[in-house]
């Protein structure tokens, strides 16, 4: 028997919700925004695992909307949920990532960005690419090309082969929940 404690998806989702409601107390705003991207990726995976109509994309959207509203209220800044406008967000996130090359690479936030790049930015941009229904969007190949340049500039070492396998597994699980009909 394994020594690991495994929680069922409902318990993990409850813990995630609890974490989200406290995120503004635990992290600087800049880091919280990025962690929210990760939390949504996890939430989508959990609702896919639960597989009940009560837990769907709308459930996650409402939860995230509540958290973004709270952060806006507390920070006084205009923050928007990237998933509410995936086409625009695809461009914004890529531009924000490009701007990081001008920051001090030894800064704590930049170390965090490099460490979490594979787990947060790549799958987020992958999902946004498929959620964007505009014909004027970047394709996933175009996004990957831009990410290659960004990762080089930031000193992020990622194997696309490993990423693609993880993205395919994630897509098989999550795309049906998000009503994305593309086969990956």
What's the CA gap between 18 and 25, in Å, rounded? 12
With a CB cutoff of 8 Å and minimum separation 6, the contacts of 118 are 156, 158, 163
- Domain holding 115, by residue range, is 85-177
Instruction: Return mean pLDDT, the chain.
Output: 92
Domain boundary among 83, 102, 131: 83
Whole-prediction pTM: 0.91
Tell me the CA distances in angstroms from 165 to 157, 159, 170, one per residue in order.
16, 10, 9
pLDDT tens figures, 17-45 = 999 998 888 788 899 999 999 999 999 99
Average pLDDT for 119-142: 94
Domain boundary among 83, 99, 120: 83
> Are residues 91 and 128 in contact, defined by beta-carbon separation less than 8 angstroms?
no
What is the pLDDT confidence band of residue 163, given thresholds at 50, 70 and 90? very high
Q: Is a pLDDT exceeding 80 seen at residue 1?
A: no
Residues 140 and 163 grouped into a single domain: yes
Cβ neighbourhood burial of 2 (10 Å; 0-12, 13-18, 19+): exposed
The count of structural domains within the chain is 2
Residues 100 and 58 grouped into a single domain: no
Residues 114 and 134 grouped into a single domain: yes
Residues 91 and 74 grouped into a single domain: no
In this prediction, residue 25 carries a pLDDT of 82
What is the pLDDT confidence band of residue 7, given thresholds at 50, 70 and 90? confident
Residues 74 and 35 grouped into a single domain: yes
pLDDT tens figures, 76-111 = 888 899 999 999 999 999 999 999 999 999 999 999
Would 42 be classed as within a structural domain?
A: yes
Q: Is a pLDDT exceeding 50 seen at residue 4?
A: yes
What is the pLDDT confidence band of residue 182, given thresholds at 50, 70 and 90? confident
Would 127 be classed as within a structural domain?
A: yes
Residues 164 and 95 grouped into a single domain: yes
Residues 79 and 92 grouped into a single domain: no
Q: How many CB atoms lie within 10 A of CB 31?
A: 16
Q: Smallest Cα–Cα separation from 113: which of 142, 156, 70?
A: 156
What's the CA gap between 10 and 58, in Å, rounded? 16
Domain boundary among 83, 103, 127: 83
Positive or negative, the CA dihedral 87, 92, 93, 94 is positive
């Amino acid at each position: 028997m394994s020594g690991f404690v495994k929680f069922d998806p409902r318990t993990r989702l409850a813990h995630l919700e609890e974490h989200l409601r406290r995120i503004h107390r635990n992290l600087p705003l800049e880091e919280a925004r990025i962690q929210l991207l990760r939390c949504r990726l996890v939430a989508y995976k959990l609702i896919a695992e639960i597989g009940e109509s009560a837990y769907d994309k709308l459930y996650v959207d409402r939860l995230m909307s509540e958290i973004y509203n709270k952060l806006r209220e507390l920070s006084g800044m205009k923050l928007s949920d990237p998933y509410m406008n995936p086409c625009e967000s695809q461009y914004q996130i890529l531009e924000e990532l490009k701007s990081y090359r001008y920051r001090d690479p030894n800064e704590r936030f930049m170390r965090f960005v490099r460490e979490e790049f594979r787990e947060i930015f790549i799958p987020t941009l992958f999902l946004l690419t498929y959620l964007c229904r505009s014909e004027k969007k970047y394709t996933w190949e175009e996004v990957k090309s831009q990410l290659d340049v960004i990762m080089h500039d930031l000193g992020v070492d990622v194997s696309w082969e490993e990423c693609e396998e993880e993205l395919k597994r994630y897509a098989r699980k999550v795309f049906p929940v998000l009503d994305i009909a593309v086969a990956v």
